[in-house]
């Protein structure tokens, strides 16, 4: 039985339904990050660090990441936007998903990389882009590719791409300030007492490290949930959870054949990838993953497929 017909028709009427669990987690994460950020500013100000410099850097990073995240991501992945004439099959799939979800059509891009993956970025639905790699296009069947793209468009519809981009600014700022203090030995501290300077220096380093650690954990927790939310929404849009599950299995299996050097180069983009690019061996990424385990994602999709009356 084809499980996409009825649900696809349903979704074309109801569009993408809000995910209250995801919205709640995004709001909670942003609130906690904001609270940490206030503590961060107060601690730096107390230590004598120029707080206005922190705010200036924070605003600059925020504006750059918020308004130019799509261009930055495409440039870093060596991707280029393609027209319907250049990639007719890819655009046809995106057009069908747009019709099912009734969201603005994102720009479409292709990255010349053998790593089979995809990602979506952009500050909102009207300024979004979905990108697939040449490695993904070579390995997936059209129905599987549609499942992947529906997952990515779910990210855009949920606006979690923008939230993740903004949330990451705090961690980037904390890391940047730590390196700046360590490498430049910026004079900090109240007064000219060397003891005060040493204490202030220690406070800046410790607080920056703690802020980075807290933001890291919060963002990773949100990232794992948003992947499950995108899996569910994407599968509901197409009405074919089994096709998305098939793509997950195929891409995860093919990832093991990619050279470790290439995987390490791609790891900074894991939070936005369809499937994380993990190099072999034990690393922090296995402890604080950006994605749920493959088994969990497949199990959730299997349950959804059973609910829809389709193949497991």
Q: Answer for the pair 69, 123: CB distance below 8 angstroms, yes or no.
A: yes
Task: Describe the strand order of the beta sheet including 107-111 as a list of residue ranges.
Answer: 79-81, 107-111, 128-133, 118-122
Backbone angles phi, psi at 123, to 5 degrees: -75, -20
CA separation for the pair 81, 269 (Å, rounded): 18
152 is catalytic: yes
Please choose, from the candidates 41, 35, 69, 65, the residue with its C-alpha nearest in 3D space to the C-alpha of residue 55: 41
Residue 183: partners with Cβ closer than 8 Å, 6 or more residues away: none
Q: ∠ CA 183-185-191 to the nearest 5 degrees?
A: 165
Q: How far, rounded to the nearest angstrom, does the alpha carbon of residue 241 sit from its chain's CA centroid?
A: 21
Q: How many helices (H) and strands (E) does the chain have?
A: 12, 4
Cβ burial, residue 210 (10 Å; 0-12/13-18/19+):
middle
Catalytic residue among 144, 146, 152, 227: 152
Nearest to 131 by CA among 115, 114, 109, 148: 109
Alpha-carbon distance of 6 to 36, in angstroms, equals 46
- Residue 259: both structure tokens together: 């050279």
Q: Do the strands 107-111 and 128-133 form a parallel or antiparallel pair, or are they unpaired?
A: parallel
Known catalytic residues are 152
């Amino acid at each position: 039985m084809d499980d996409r017909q009825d649900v696809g028709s349903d979704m074309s009427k109801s569009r993408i339904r809000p995910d209250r669990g995801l919205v709640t987690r995004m709001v909670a994460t942003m609130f906690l990050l904001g609270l940490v950020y206030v503590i961060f500013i107060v601690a730096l100000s107390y230590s004598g660090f120029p707080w206005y410099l922190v705010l200036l850097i924070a605003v600059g990073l925020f504006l750059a990441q918020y308004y130019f995240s799509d261009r930055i991501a495409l440039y870093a992945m060596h991707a280029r936007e393609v027209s319907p004439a250049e990639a007719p099959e890819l655009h046809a799939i995106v057009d069908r998903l747009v019709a099912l979800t009734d969201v603005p059509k994102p720009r479409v891009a292709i990255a010349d990389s053998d790593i089979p993956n995809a990602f979506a970025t952009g500050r909102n639905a009207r300024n979004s882009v979905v990108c697939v790699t040449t490695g993904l296009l070579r390995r997936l069947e059209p129905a599987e590719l549609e499942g992947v793209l529906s997952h990515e468009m779910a990210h855009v519809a949920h606006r979690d791409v923008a939230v993740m981009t903004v949330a990451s600014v705090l961690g980037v700022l904390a890391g940047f300030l730590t390196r700046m203090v360590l490498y430049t030995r910026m004079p900090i501290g109240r007064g000219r007492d060397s003891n005060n300077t040493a204490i202030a220096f220690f406070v800046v380093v410790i607080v920056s490290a703690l802020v980075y650690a807290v933001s890291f954990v919060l963002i990773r927790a949100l990232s794992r949930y948003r992947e499950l939310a995108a899996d569910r929404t994407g599968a509901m849009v197409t009405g074919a959870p089994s096709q998305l599950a098939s793509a997950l299995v195929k891409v995860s299996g093919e990832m093991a054949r990619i050279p470790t050097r290439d995987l390490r180069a791609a790891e900074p983009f894991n939070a936005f990838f369809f499937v994380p690019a993990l190099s072999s061996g034990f690393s922090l990424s296995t402890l604080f993953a950006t994605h749920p385990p493959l088994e969990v994602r497949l199990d959730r999709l299997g349950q959804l497929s059973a609910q829809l009356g389709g193949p497991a």
